[in-house]
Structure 1
Amino acid sequence: MENPIGLAVQDFLYREADLLDEWRLTEWEALLADDARYLVPPIGVDNQSELDPDKVMFVVADDREMLRARVVRSNGGVDFAEKPRSRLRRAVTNIRILDVHDDIFRVTANVVVYRSRRSEVTTFIGKYRYRLRRSGNGFLIAEKRVELDIDVLRGQGGISIIL
């Protein structure tokens, strides 16, 4: 990306990835818009980007309050699914701004998240679909949809991390 807006979007997504990998969830939460949604559609289907969480059961469909509760649980040490905490590393690539309407940027990126825990490494592969809202000199996450390219969560178990 050579244009300033593209570089700013890329930097924002890389910063978000670092915060999540380092479990700096309070700082990550500050990147969320007041009406933010975090969505993981059903896996193993072809039309994940078209599914509506109000009509179909999603793996994760969190609004801002549910995300805040996740952060509080994790920071308070009561997130038992993550005791001990997983070591995380993610690669975010192929970042593209699809379009801009008013102050909303529709952005996609490919992602691979590696989770290492109790001598096991699991991999989540997929696509991020963001709605980023311009805010001051930066962006806020209005919606983050994670479309996983896996058929079942067998090896991954549940999704106890924020992808």
Structure 2
Amino acid sequence: MSSDPRDFAAHEAALLDERRFDDWLALFTEDGHYWVPLLGAVQADPFSHNSLAYEDRLLLQLRVDRLKNPRAHSQHPPSHSQHVLQPSRIEEETGDAVHLRTPFLYIEARGESQILLTGTARHHLARTPTGWAIREKRIDLLNAARALPAIQLFI
């Protein structure tokens, strides 16, 4: 992977679209979080209001394990995703940390059904000896508070 942090979001999305969930999970720092605020971009933190998802490494590992389990009923047939990304933009860079902003379209398909979501991914990355790692991935969905279908994978 490139050392340019702007290439990170595309690499991460490719891992998800290829169902390489263990490799994707390895991108997170030990204290990393995956957050999908219920209020979208206006929600300041995951503690003062409900979120669609706020998961640490342990919860992410449990979801990955479920997705890989051949007995997971929700994955018969398996879900597949396609991320369509605009170029990532660096919003802030301080020392060994970078904040990226990446607008996206997300398509998730399972059997005959397909959902389309759009929004902005915000990655807070930390530089590690092996490259960039996710300290927090925040997904601000467009119109997040509306009724949403079940999302099986990771946006």
Q: State TM-score, norm by structure 1.
A: 0.85
**CA shift in 2, pair 1:13/1:46, >3 Å:** closer
> How big is the alpha-carbon RMSD for the aligned residues of Structure 1 and Structure 2?
1.9
The 1:46/1:29 distance shift into structure 2, 3 A limit, reads: closer
Instruction: Quote the residue 1:160 is aligned against.
Output: 152
Change (3 A) 1:78 1:108: farther
Q: Could you list the runs of 5+ residues in structure 2 that have no partner in the other structure?
A: none
Q: Which residue of 2 aligns with 1:144?
A: 137
Q: Share of identical aligned residues, percent?
A: 27
Change (3 A) 1:134 1:24: same
Q: Say if 2:30 is the partner of 1:37.
A: no
Preserved CA contact (<8 Å) 2:109 2:115: yes
Aligned-partner residue type, residue 30 of structure 2: D
Alignment gaps of 5+ in structure 1: none
Counterpart for residue 47 of structure 1: 42
SS at match of 1:56: coil
Letter matched to residue 25 of structure 2:
E
Q: Which amino acid aligns with 1:47?
A: V
Taking a change above 3 Å as real, the CA distance of residues 47 and 28 of structure 1, as seen in their structure-2 partners, is: same
CA separation of 1:78/1:141 partners in 2, compared to 1, >3 Å: closer, same or farther?
Answer: farther
What is residue 94 of structure 2 aligned with on the other side?
Answer: 101
Q: Which residue of 1 aligns with 2:12?
A: 16
CA distance in 2, matches of 1:62, 1:125: 20
Aligned-partner Cα distance in 2 for 1:97–1:34: 23
Structure 1 segments, 4+ long, off by >6 Å, are none
Q: Count residues with an aligned counterpart.
A: 153
Q: Name whichever of 130-139 and 20-29 sits farther off.
A: 130-139
Cα distance in 1, alignment partners of residues 121 and 36 from structure 2: 10
Q: Distance in 1 between matches of 2:65 and 2:142?
A: 29
Q: Which residues in structure 2 correspond to 1:80-95 (within 5 Å)?
A: 80-95=73-88
1:67 maps to which residue?
60
